[in-house]
Structure 1
Amino acid sequence: MKIILITGVSQRQGIGFAVAKHLGLEGHNIIISARNLEQAENLAQELKQDGVNVTSVKIDLLDLDSIRKATKFIEEKFQKIDILINNAALMLNSSAKFIDKDMDELNIEFQTNVTGTWYVTQQFYPLLVASGEGRIVNISSGAGSFADPDFGIVNFPGAGLSQITFDYPLPAYGLTKLALNGLTIKMAKEFKNDNVLVNAVCPGMTATRPGAADFGARPVEECVDGIVWAATLPKDGPSGQFFRDRKVLPW
């Protein structure tokens, strides 16, 4: 059974919690993290009631010290991790227009979704190497591609947001995921010799917020399969690619 760290598990209706539950019920040893430790602990208790072997830790992607402390704790307790699922991300709901965007908010989004993910992976990388068959899944978005017909930056808002009838600008969130997809390729190239496979996965438009289903968002449970698949790839599995529902996305 694998030791699996999932970041950004703070809401019961979130993707991270659904993935943790799915993999935990398969018998894997799960570590969940959140910016607010109490939130992670409460969700861990719920998973334990379902029979999942789970540990909770605090990881705030804007607090590098919290990442270092979590790394030390997990190294002392487990000596390795087999799978890292970089699920934590931030999308702020302020103006998405280029001319109006607040630069402090923009920096927070990039620091969370790109720099923070980079640092988490950097810190935990030795523990992934210790596994011998490490796997990294970066949770991305079709908004981080050029050509995705639903959310890609060329087509946005595309078929996936057909209910939007006004000129809605591409949010900065999409640009952070564009950078994350590039980072995924960089990781895959550099981690190849250590047998660590790295892929980005778009879960699709997911009903993690009230009203999202009205815009065609899928239930969270339907979006988990592609993430679980990428996290448990065999030795000869792909690396440095971008997927949704186990299929390569144009990027």
Structure 2
Amino acid sequence: MTSSLTSAEVNAVKASRIARTAKRAAAALALCTSASAFAGSVAGFGGATEITQLLNNAELVSSVAQQAQMVEQNIQAQITRLQNLAQVPGELINETIAPYTQQLDNFRSLYSAVTDLQQAAQSTSQLFSNAMSDMSSANLKPSQWLSALSSLAKSQGGVYRAQLNQDLNAISSLAKRAQNLQSIQSKIPGVTGNVQGLQMLNQQTNVLAGEMIDLHALMQRQVAMQMQDKADQSQNRDNVAQLLKARSAQAADINTKEQTMIQNAPAFQLPRDQ
């Protein structure tokens, strides 16, 4: 578990949180928790490596976004080249286009996959930037920020919980998009040699997919524990309420019986003087 926060730190988090949107805070909770940082410690981020690990992951996501944008442009050039073949005379279309029909479809699928990845990575890169900004304004380390946001999500629920679900879905989506790109490009013979930058992007997404999968699993476990704790507390409160209600009913029943006994008791007569 992460170390306890001082009241000043909690207040700083709340102040910063109010100043920002609920989406940004929940995103910080989801994205500041690097899977690599958790690998060696149950507590999460460890010592002086906290900021370094966060920056490394932010740099990876940013690099993927930039590389994907470049590859996207190169794939579009290939699609345009193949589409231009359709301008040949009609009698030559079948002979000329047929061999490239599947290739054109493959490039279109690849283009779509790279575009999806680029958008997801760009959005995630912005979330990292927002997280760093929030932590800086609150003067907290990633572990402290994560602990504070976890407490807020657990204690207040509502929009915090909803945003946490959205961010978990976003992390899962980014991992799936990275895997989808790898799957599509692996089915196109020689495509990494035909599209400049695709080989490097494939290497980056291989790392990114693993990070996002681990991060998603980690966040699911953490959220499950938080919700279990909350469920236990809720159940305990329900049990206490039921017990108090039962005891109150018992007391009322005893009081009613005592009153009935008193009312039905024979009249008390004092002995007469002789």
Higher relative contact order (CA 8 A, sep 6+): 2
Q: Which has the higher strand share?
A: 1
Fold shared, TM-score > 0.5 on shorter chain: no
Q: Which has the larger radius of gyration?
A: 2
- Using the size of structure 1 for normalisation, the TM-score is 0.29
More helix per residue: 1 or 2?
Answer: 2
TM-score with structure 2 setting the length: 0.27
